[in-house]
Structure formats: C-alpha cells, structure tokens
Structure 1
C-alpha cells in the first residue's frame, strides 16, 4: 500500500480500490493507469477498476463481497446503488490452513489477581447482579451508595462495586432454552474471576428463579456470594440496606487481594468490532489479528464472536479449524442463522447499519471479511454456545448476534477478562467487569474522539506504522491494561449499562 496514493487495491484479484480520502469526480488515479473517476467517491468507499457486467461478482480482499445490480464501468463509485448480496458456493476445505503458532521463547506476563481456585482476574470488583429486570433498580441503588460516597476509601485494592442489570428474566418458559441461556449468562457473571464477591438480587416471583439458576450453574452461596430476594426481605429499602451490608462484609476480604506476576496464558480476550467502516478490515482489524496471534503464541485465548458478522467469510475460518468437527461447528451455526433469518422474515444482510454503509461497507459479505481479520491467522480450536464457559486455549468462536453489547456480554460470561474493540465510526463502549480497549481504524476519528480511543490504528494507512508494529503495540497495551492501567472507557466510567444478554424464545 503506497502511503501517498489516492486509492489502494487490497488484493491482485480485486476489481475495486478503496479511497484513502474523498475523491472528486474527474480525478485521475495515476496509480491505476490514469483511471478517471466518474463520480464523487467518499472516503473509505470503493471505486471500480474494471468493467463488471450485470450480475457479476465484485471482489475485495480477493473475495466476493456482492454482485452488481447494474453494469459498472471503470471509475464508477461502487456501493448500495449498484451492488447487492447474492448466493455463491464457499469452499470450506476443513483444516487446510490450520496453523498453531510456535510457543513464544520468553512467555509474556502481566500482574493479575490469582483467585483461590487458580483463576486469574484483571480487575478486583464486587458485583451486584439482578436476576430479573424487576430487581434492576434495587441493584443500581446499592451500587450508587458506594459510587457516591467515600465508602470504599479504606479499601484501596478494590476496584469498585459493579451493577449487572438487564431487561429480561420473566414471562418466558420456565425451563425453556431462553431461561437456560439467561441463567448461563448471569451465572457466568456471578462466577467471573474479576468479581471477588457477588450479591445476587431477585424479586421473588420471576421465571428466572434464583435457586434454579444457582443449581443449574453450580453456584454455591457463602460469605462471598450472597442471595437476596426483595419480596422476602420486605421491599426496596430493606433489600438495599441488606445488600449494602452484604457488600460491606465482602470488602475486607476482597481488599486482601494483591496483584502478582502471572503468565499471559491467563488472558482471555473478547474480540469485538462496532461502528465499522471501510478502513476496519485494512487497519485496526488485521492489526488486532496480529496481536491475537501473539497472545495465542503466549498461551492465551481469544474469543471471536457475532455469527452474522462472519457470514460470507466463514470459509476462511473452516479452513483454519483444528479438525473437521470444529469446522463443521461453524457451518452449523451459519445454517442456523440462515434458517432463523428466513423464519423471522428478515435478512442477514440487514446487519450493516446506516453508519456502516455511510462508512463504505455495502454488504454483510464485505463487513464479515473485514471482521474476521481481527482473529489473526492461528488455528480455530473450538466453537461454543453463547455464554458457554471457554475451556480451550487459543482462538475460539462463540455464537452470538451481531449487536456489540450482546456479543460482549456473552464473551464476558464465557470468561473473557479483557475486551479489544475496534471501531471506525467511533463506538463509545465499556464492558464491566472486564476492561475494554478501543482501537480506532482511522486518524480523523481518533483525533475527534480521543477521550474514548486507546490506540490509533489509522497510522498504518498514514504511513507511521506497519500492521506488525501496531499489532505488537496492541498486545503490549493488553498486558498493561490487564495489569491495572485504566483504559479510556474505564476513565470515563463506561460499562455499568452495557450488559445485554441475548434473549431467545417467546416472550409471553
């Protein structure tokens, strides 16, 4: 990629180039045999390099991103007005490109909190978890007591008290897949390593009964897990008081925790991208992919997710599957989502948002190809249900919708103790109890939203960095954030409102 070109081609087979900045009609692209641009092309959008007949594929990254809805001539702007989804065969080639990176010669470390059972935390929080939306206000009132007072001043090694609230928990089948998935999700938070202790608050009459949730998720009550039921305690005020007392009893125990050097193998990183643009698959996502390969080489784990956002690129993952069973797991998820979209009279191609499209992404195929880049090149070691505990080291995949907070909620419930989040349009996101690192795809947005962004990956395109150097920078920041350095989203106090479980099944 020439850093002074007006547009760049990403693969020799591509029939489009990507505009580095906005290109005006009539501009001559010297780097493409003096091609004359015949329409205004916004920054990060596509310009045709060759004629493409009606119904023929358009290629980016050397892969199909859609099919023309009208003939396209060289120099034309290629976007939603002349490009759309279409079906085509993928070569899954299970395991053909599976590569397990060699172990790092000098294992990286970070300073984490080692729990009694050997799990490692990147933060030392007390959690307050609601079983149902009806107990969400009580949960928040408990947390406000600690955030709006000096109640934590004597506990310097406690990072705070965190609310985990949501909008579900009732009017669902009492033993159906919906409540089972919700219990698995909330159970993952209750048992999360970043919580030294947890108070769980229910209303009492909800479908998601606390006892059933504890039993299904193997949660045992004790001095660091305290259950409270509002109807049994006598209402809002009495439950708030009891919950505050329960947290106060946990604080001295939590404050005894100290950070110590641990292997990077204890890092489990949730991979997310949101507010994506045409630069996402060129800068931040592949740079994060290099960081993922480094993490895997050091024994750590990375969780790729959001199944609709690998649609059209799933064959790149099946080729990296460690075995056929893992690869088939990806194919089965894709088939489920196709059937789901058909059943709900929707389209997986609805996924690119208006902001994504304004940023240059035309179809879900194009978006997915860029999204998969953040997984690096390591072998895919496992495929998991939403919020299912991750038991495999290396790169894994977890099923989830394409809504970022919903995907991150499942990844954290699965055990992610860090989140790496790329964004081109500028997502404002936090993910307590796991710190979230924001990676900007372009310099303009990074400078405009500097208070929210941790790393600028736009300098890969500007010429100030390479993907390799940026990947190393991201990996080193992961280690520092895991060791206690605050991310931008933490400094802003984000993360108390972003827990969004994926609710499946009928609401009655």
Structure 2
C-alpha cells in the first residue's frame, strides 16, 4: 500500500522502548515520520506498535521496563498485543532506598474547609452511618437509612442542612466463617475502621444476634465501645424486623441535632488522606491520568498530606520501582512480603498473578499485568515510600504509603477508607462507574473520547496529555486543587449520582462453611 504521512500519531515513552503508543486509529501504510516507521496492519488507538524487529522469545520494553516476551517474530510497524506478546517470568532486582530523596515541603501549606472531630482527625463529609455485622441485618439497615433519603423523604433531613445524609453500608458475609481465621479478622478490622471514620459523625451497628461475627467482637478488635456516637443492637434483641427499624430510626433522630452542629473551618491540607485507585484502565492510563494524579500526589505530600497506593496484584511486576523509593529496607521488605503472600495465595487457590488485565483493559490496549502495573504505579508520584500496611489497617504515617489489597476496585477502596482515607481519586480509561461513601470519589478520565462520551460521570479530563493540549504538571495542579475543593464539600460527580453505598465490599478471605 502507498504510505501517507501521519503527524502526532504516536507517543514514545522512553528512547529505549520497543513500542510506541497510537494516539488514534492508524491504517496499514500510514507513515510515522517521528519514528521513520510505516504501519503494517490496522492499529487501534491506545495500542502498541513495534518500532524494531522483535524475535520470538525476546523481551519487549515499554517505560524502559519489560512488559512481556514476543510469542512469535514481530516485524517493525506491526501491532503488538495479546496475539503476539505474553507474560514474562523474569527476575527483578529489588534494591532498597536507592531512589529515596528529601521531600520538598512547602513553606505555607494549602488549606481546605474541613470538619474537625474530637480526636483531632478531620472529616471531608458529615454522615450518620448504619453498619451491619452480617448480611442477615442488611435489609433492616437499608430500611433505617432509606427513611432519611432526601430524594424520597425530603422532610426527614430538612432541619439538618449540615448533615450530608444517613447511609447504610451492608455486605454479604459475617457468618459461616472461621471465628479465629484471617477472614474474620479482616472483616472486623474493616468494620471497626468505618465505625470510627471521621466522615461519620455517628454510627449505628445493627446485627442479627446469632451470627459468627458478633458486634462485640468487632468493637473489641478495634478497642471500641458503645457510646453516644456509636450505638449497637440486634434484630433478635429488638423483637424483629419492624421494631428494629423503628428503633434504628429513633436512634438516628436522636443523633441528628448534634451531627448538624458541625461547622467547616480552614484546616491544613496535611489532613487529606487520599486513596489512589484505577479501574477500567486502558493503554493511556500510564501516560495521562495516572502520572497526572502522581503529580498531584507529589504536591499533596509536599503540603504534608498522605496518599495510599493499593491493589497489590496491580503493582506486581513493578514493585521493584517502589522498593527503590522505600525509606528503609524494612519498609521495602514489607512490600515484598505482601507480594509473596499473593503469590502463595494464588498458587493454593489454583490462580495466577497474570490473570489480569481484564477484557476491557485488553480492548483498551493493555496486554499483560506487567504493562498494567507499570502504568498503575505512576499514580503514586515520585516521593518516598514511607510505610506499608495490611488491608484496612489504620494509616498513621504522613506521605506516600502502600496498603495491601486485591485489585478489585470496590474491595480495594473499601480497605483504604477503613484505613482512614477521607478522599478517593480514581482514574479510568474505559469509563468505570464508582463512588465510595462516606468518602467522596473523584474520577479522572484518561482520554478525551471518554470525557466527551461520559462527562456526567467524570470529574476531570486528562486526555489533554494525549491530545497535546495539556502537560502532566498542569493537570497535577488542577487535580490537587480539585482535591482541596472536593475535601471542602464540593460534590463529586459520583456523589451527585448517588454512588457509594452499594460499593462497600470488604475483602473476603478464607473458607466459608
């Protein structure tokens, strides 16, 4: 075929890469002047093009890191994807702290309008929560919260404008699990974290009464006890469904006046704890939204705040980049311990760490978990890794940290909020629909096509990096300001749509009998 000139058609991420990324659909015969390359075959946007002849069995690099090995010979200009690239099992050098550096803290930290709680923590929202110990009490909990829905019963909260709402967070487990196993420990740690989350002014804990996961066990695990702002009861002790709902409604009504008495005030950005998520990722995630969020994270850390990277299976193959930033060997080894736990967990369950990316990720140009992970870690910016936590463990460090979790977004973010995240930033290239009450969630689109198609769900368009109309630093500034605004009470798109209650998904580990 005759060749045609194509400008701004591809993005090269590193001089030593074996591939470039198409910024739009390219037809066979298109000439890429910047690479002196002629396209051989149809290349979808977001997908990879070989810039050299790659022999079968040779490693392929993107980000100057190995993303897989060629399954067959790949000619220069050909499409590189699942048909000719596969997962690579290779040894990675895990060096510790060689890239750590002093954090450039700002002299005058930014502020946002937050809500100070009695324990010194700061809230970004002001909810009354209804939690459940077991699935059996989920219907009752939802009925209690539904009584106060502004869209159904606007009069219920009319006198309480400073209360963001009454929400029920229910789940599908809590019984039939080992009373002393890892599964119940994780569930209890998660529920205890939510029970004292600063975005809840007060909480009702509702159980059935005979479940394995007794409310008393949850409270004891978190060093908690019943009080004015944390009250618990069961369906069986209350006399059944109707009486329990009435009792719960009456308790919430008793809490509302005090909940409404809060006032927002200027507080330092150091009180922001943001959970970092990516879902529905695509070939642009690691080029636009993820590094732009990473730039915002660097700014937040410089202002004294905290950012939580998670999704352990989605840093697999890129963990060596994180250990290099660890403040100590001990912190780096903690991360590797979690990686090894996941390898063993997958092996004993007949699974594999490379069962990712998802079908949508692959349509969007991602091929292996190595490629996905290398783009995913960009959300964490460039500052030091100061600590590593287990799932739903309370975050007590400032700066960039890691919390172990599955890659499934609702499950991962649930753990981050249980750990104390009062804000979530979520990047997506395919168009994930997500929210995470009681913490607001900001959605970052990786490309302009998604933004134009699904603008009502997205909070910011990072596609300007691909289009050449914005830089990573510019978007980092915008995202950081959006964090401050959202933490001050500006509703995110997911909050406007009512997302957040159904997305509470504690990590279920272990045998259910």
Q: What's the TM-score, normalizing by structure 2?
A: 0.98
Q: Give secondary structure in 1 for the equivalent of 2:148.
A: helix
- Structure 1, unaligned runs of 5 or more: none
Partner of 2:344 in structure 1?
339
Partner of 1:28 in structure 2?
31
Distance in 2 of aligned mates of 1:177 and 1:36: 55
Moved >6 Å (runs of 4+): none
Partner of 1:14 in structure 2?
17
1:91 to 86, 93, 114: 93
Partner of 2:186 in structure 1?
181
Partner of 2:418 in structure 1?
413
Deviation at 1:99, TM superposition (A): 2.3
Deviation at 1:504, TM superposition (A): 0.7
Deviation at 1:89, TM superposition (A): 1.5
Deviation at 1:124, TM superposition (A): 0.5
2:117 to 115, 118, 122: 115
Given that 2:81 and 2:365 are in contact with CA atoms closer than 8 Å, whether structure 1 keeps it comes out as: yes
Q: Does 1:483 align with 2:483?
A: no
Partner of 2:284 in structure 1?
279
Given that 1:385 and 1:399 are in contact with CA atoms closer than 8 Å, whether structure 2 keeps it comes out as: yes
Partner of 2:3 in structure 1?
none
Q: What's the TM-score, normalizing by structure 1?
A: 0.98
Deviation at 1:341, TM superposition (A): 1.4
Deviation at 1:87, TM superposition (A): 1.1
Distance in 2 of aligned mates of 1:452 and 1:486: 12
Q: Give secondary structure in 2 for the equivalent of 1:106.
A: coil
Partner of 1:371 in structure 2?
376
Partner of 2:169 in structure 1?
164
Q: Does 1:300 align with 2:302?
A: no
1:135 to 134, 137, 156: 137
Aligned residues: 505
In the TM superposition, 1:438-449 aligns within 5 A as 438-449=443-454
Given that 1:133 and 1:167 are in contact with CA atoms closer than 8 Å, whether structure 2 keeps it comes out as: yes
Q: Give secondary structure in 2 for the equivalent of 1:349.
A: coil
Q: Give secondary structure in 2 for the equivalent of 1:129.
A: strand
Given that 1:6 and 1:29 are in contact with CA atoms closer than 8 Å, whether structure 2 keeps it comes out as: yes
2:208 to 178, 191, 203: 203
In the TM superposition, 1:427-442 aligns within 5 A as 427-442=432-447
Given that 1:351 and 1:402 are in contact with CA atoms closer than 8 Å, whether structure 2 keeps it comes out as: no
Range moving further from structure 2, 90-99 or 420-429: 90-99
Deviation at 1:343, TM superposition (A): 1.5
Q: Give secondary structure in 2 for the equivalent of 1:269.
A: strand
Range moving further from structure 2, 210-219 or 59-68: 210-219
Q: Give secondary structure in 1 for the equivalent of 2:485.
A: helix
1:118-156 alpha-carbon deviations (Å, 9 max, x no partner):
110000000000111111111111111000211100001
- Structure 2, unaligned runs of 5 or more: 1-5
1:214-260 alpha-carbon deviations (Å, 9 max, x no partner):
11111121111110100110111100000001100000011110001
